């Protein structure tokens, strides 16, 4: 389904009609008044689905901006084939309050929050039966919680808005000050607890892909794990994470919520296998010829010529990251593109059928037939991110017309979160079982039982191998308190223009965008920025 929503002060909704799952062709849409948007349950459902759609709607660049903030700031990240100064600050730890990426994701999240608040405020008008209305409210509160979870990990304590804003007179909400980090997490937890209590265990048919109680429990467990780390350092939350994640892990939980690991790692990301049992929750893009607004995310990550010839890799990994994988690990060559067959655009030095290989000596992709550097020779390229790089666009689509879903939480992540929480609560042998379950799927060798410290390092390493590029890496590093060592371990390959900034405590969080500080006099900038 494709739902477009306009957001003036009144949050008047522009709703596209059609089914949630099966109807890939976009239907005509029209603007609806708030009264029409909440006229009955059918309208409420469409409006609630519009909350989901806020994650993937235009502007397209917001999604890649999310990727930049979550994945660029670590020892294995480097630039891609194309030189683009826009990305330098995030590789070099030279961010500033005026950077566009932070501003765009801030706006994206608060659009989601505004739409969610509208549903929460009006659901009972559409459906007087509170049991039914609470399902839609729970979906909205889940989305609101997830938006705040991203905000607090990016920016620390942020304004908490829990009312529908319909008038400029609501200055207390419009100009809300920063909440504390603890207050923000308390708000997130309350929303997710409501969601898990009111959502069905699973969805089916055209509703498949909507948030389930299992997704709410899984995300809540990850939130508790995050609270146990920095900056809150709330140790008792490790046990809360164990208790919550145990509700969805194991035979009973997997059966109830239809979760599990797929046998083959690559199948998780197949365009024909969306919403499989390993996807705890995701947000959908549907390309259509009528409105070719698909996902821009793959476009910025694909190596040139792997799919259609016009992709532009602006993010990569170092050979050191590639070498972290065992040779038989099925994730290695799927996650990091070491070589590929060129398929298009003969104007850039290669012809269809050329083998493009990464040369770790020159740190560039080269054309094997000629030995020539492939791409921009003025920068070090790194190795391309490959999890989505086998996805073809629909014929005739524009460069960003991909139908790739945004996978936000996978069951493998849930298992590794539980393994980490178990290990931190002294249940190292139980943690090892879960860790090796993830490694076994990848055909990687099993770890042996060692000390708690050894297993902690192995779990952290496994999160990189399994989840890199999935909006996890920077957030993991921050909660572990390892950012300083990450920066110290960076190599010249990653230091674009020799401009790497040294570690500073302020780098543990991004600056609040200057545009927001200018608009809201009650906002306070994060320390050091």
Interval 341-356: pLDDT, tens: 998 776 677 888 999 9
At 181, the pLDDT band (50, 70, 90 cuts) reads very high
Tell me which residue of 311, 264, 250, 253 sits closest to 273, measured CA to CA: 264
Say if residue 8's pLDDT is above 60. Answer: no
Say if residue 6's pLDDT is above 60. Answer: no
Tell me which residue of 40, 235, 61, 65 sits closest to 122, measured CA to CA: 40
The span from the CA of 219 to the CA of 80, in Å, is: 32
The span from the CA of 56 to the CA of 8, in Å, is: 19
Q: What is the mean pLDDT of residues 455-460?
A: 98
What region does 306 belong to: left with phi over 0, alpha with psi -120 to 50, or beta?
Answer: alpha
In three-state secondary structure terms, 522 is: coil
Say if residue 5's pLDDT is above 70. Answer: no
In three-state secondary structure terms, 162 is: coil
**What's residue 291's pLDDT?**
60
Say if residue 527's pLDDT is above 90. Answer: yes
Q: What is the mean pLDDT of residues 233-238?
A: 98
In the chain, % helix, strand, coil (3-state, to 5) comes to 45, 10, 45
More confident: 252 or 311: 252
Say if residue 24's pLDDT is above 50. Answer: no
Q: What is the mean pLDDT of residues 48-71?
A: 88
Interval 390-437: pLDDT, tens: 787 777 777 777 888 899 999 999 999 999 999 999 999 999 999 999
Say if residue 15's pLDDT is above 60. Answer: no
Enumerate residues 6+ apart whose C-beta is below 8 A from 267.
Answer: 273, 276
The span from the CA of 103 to the CA of 97, in Å, is: 8
Q: What backbone phi and psi angles, to 5 degrees, belong to 15?
A: -110, 125
DSSP 230-248: TTTT-TTHHHHHHHHHTTT
**What's residue 288's pLDDT?**
67
At 16, the pLDDT band (50, 70, 90 cuts) reads very low
Indicate yes or no: pTM above 0.85.
yes
Interval 121-165: pLDDT, tens: 999 999 999 999 999 999 999 999 999 999 999 999 999 999 999
**What's residue 394's pLDDT?**
77
Cα R_g (the chain), whole angstroms: 23
At 309, the pLDDT band (50, 70, 90 cuts) reads low
Residue 252 burial by CB count (10 A; 0-12/13-18/19+): exposed, middle or buried? Answer: exposed
Q: What is the mean pLDDT of residues 8-28?
A: 29
Q: What is the mean pLDDT of residues 85-93?
A: 81
Q: What is the mean pLDDT of residues 249-271?
A: 96
Cis omega (within 30 of 0) for bond into 120: no
More confident: 431 or 386: 431
Cβ atoms of 462 and 416 closer than 8 Å: yes
**What's residue 378's pLDDT?**
67
**What's residue 301's pLDDT?**
84
Domains of the chain, each with CATH number or no CATH? 1-78+89-199+505-529 (1.25.40.890), 297-404 (no CATH)
DSSP 378-399: TS---EEE-TTTTPPPPTT--T
Q: 341: which strand partners?
A: 355
The region of weakest confidence among 157-171, 274-288, 463-477 is 274-288
Q: What backbone phi and psi angles, to 5 degrees, belong to 392?
A: -85, 145
Tell me what percent of the residues of the chain surpass a pLDDT of 70: 89
More confident: 340 or 5: 340
**What's residue 346's pLDDT?**
65
Neighbours of 244 (CB within 10 A): 27
Residue 328: alpha-carbon gap to chain centroid: 27
The region of weakest confidence among 49-63, 207-221, 223-237, 292-306 is 292-306
Give me the numbers of helices (H) and strands (E) for the chain, helices first please. Answer: 20, 12
In three-state secondary structure terms, 62 is: helix
Q: 364: which strand partners?
A: 359
At 209, the pLDDT band (50, 70, 90 cuts) reads very high
Measure CA of the first residue to CA of the last residue in the chain; give whole Å: 41
If you average pLDDT over every residue of the chain, what do you get?
Answer: 88
Q: What backbone phi and psi angles, to 5 degrees, belong to 355?
A: -90, 120
Say if residue 85's pLDDT is above 90. Answer: no
Say if residue 190's pLDDT is above 70. Answer: yes
Say if residue 339's pLDDT is above 80. Answer: yes
DSSP conformation class of 11: -
Cβ atoms of 160 and 183 closer than 8 Å: yes
Interval 483-506: pLDDT, tens: 999 999 998 777 766 678 899 999
**What's residue 57's pLDDT?**
81
């Amino acid at each position: 389904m494709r739902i477009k929503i306009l957001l003036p002060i009144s949050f008047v909704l522009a709703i596209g009609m059609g089914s949630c799952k099966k109807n890939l062709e976009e239907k005509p849409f029209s603007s609806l008044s708030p009264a029409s948007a909440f006229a009955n349950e059918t309208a409420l459902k469409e409006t609630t689905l519009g909350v989901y759609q806020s994650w993937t709607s235009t502007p397209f660049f917001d999604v890649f901006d999310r990727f930049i903030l979550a994945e660029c700031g670590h020892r294995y990240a480097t630039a891609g084939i194309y030189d683009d100064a826009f990305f330098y600050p995030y590789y070099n730890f030279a961010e500033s309050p005026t950077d566009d990426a932070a501003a765009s994701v801030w706006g994206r999240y608060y659009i989601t929050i505004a739409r969610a608040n509208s549903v929460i405020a009006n659901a009972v008008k559409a459906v007087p039966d509170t049991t039914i209305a609470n399902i839609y409210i729970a979906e909205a509160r889940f989305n609101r919680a997830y938006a705040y979870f991203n905000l607090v990990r990016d920016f620390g304590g942020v304004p908490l808005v829990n009312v529908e804003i319909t008038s400029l007179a609501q200055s207390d909400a419009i100009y809300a000050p920063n909440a504390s980090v603890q207050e923000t997490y308390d708000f997130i937890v309350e929303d997710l607890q409501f969601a898990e209590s009111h959502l069905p265990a699973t969805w089916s048919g055209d509703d498949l892909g909507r948030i389930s109680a299992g997704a709410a429990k899984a995300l809540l467990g990850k939130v508790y794990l995050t609270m146990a780390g920095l900056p809150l350092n709330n140790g008792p939350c490790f046990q809360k994470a164990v208790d919550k994640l145990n509700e969805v892990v194991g035979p009973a939980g997997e059966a109830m919520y239809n979760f599990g690991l797929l046998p083959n790692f690559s199948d998780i990301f197949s365009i024909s296998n969306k919403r499989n049992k390993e996807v705890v929750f995701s947000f959908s893009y549907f390309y259509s010829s009528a409105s070719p607004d698909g996902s821009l995310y793959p476009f910025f990550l694909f190596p040139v010529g792997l799919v259609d010839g016009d992709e532009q890799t602006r993010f990569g990994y170092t050979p050191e990251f590639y070498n972290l994988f065992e040779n038989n690990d099925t994730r290695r060559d799927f996650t990091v593109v070491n070589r590929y067959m060129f398929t298009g655009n003969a104007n850039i030095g290669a012809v269809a059928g050329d083998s493009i290989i990464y040369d770790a000596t020159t740190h560039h992709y080269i054309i094997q037939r000629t030995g020539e550097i492939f791409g921009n020779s003025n920068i070090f390229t790194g190795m391309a991110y490959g999890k989505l790089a086998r996805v073809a666009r629909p014929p005739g689509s524009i460069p960003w017309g991909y139908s790739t879903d945004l996978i936000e939480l996978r069951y493998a992540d849930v298992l590794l979160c539980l393994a980490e929480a178990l290990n931190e609560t002294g249940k190292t042998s139980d943690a090892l079982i879960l860790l090796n379950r993830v490694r076994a799927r990848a055909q990687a060798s099993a770890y042996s039982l060692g000390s708690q410290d050894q297993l902690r390092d192995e779990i952290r390493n496994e999160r990189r191998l399994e989840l890199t590029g999935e909006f996890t890496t920077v957030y993991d590093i921050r909660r572990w308190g390892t950012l300083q060592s990450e920066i110290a371990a960076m190599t010249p390959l990653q230091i674009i223009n020799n401009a790497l900034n040294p570690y500073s405590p302020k780098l543990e969080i991004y600056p609040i965008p200057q545009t927001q500080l200018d608009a809201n006099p009650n906002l306070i900038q994060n320390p050091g920025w």
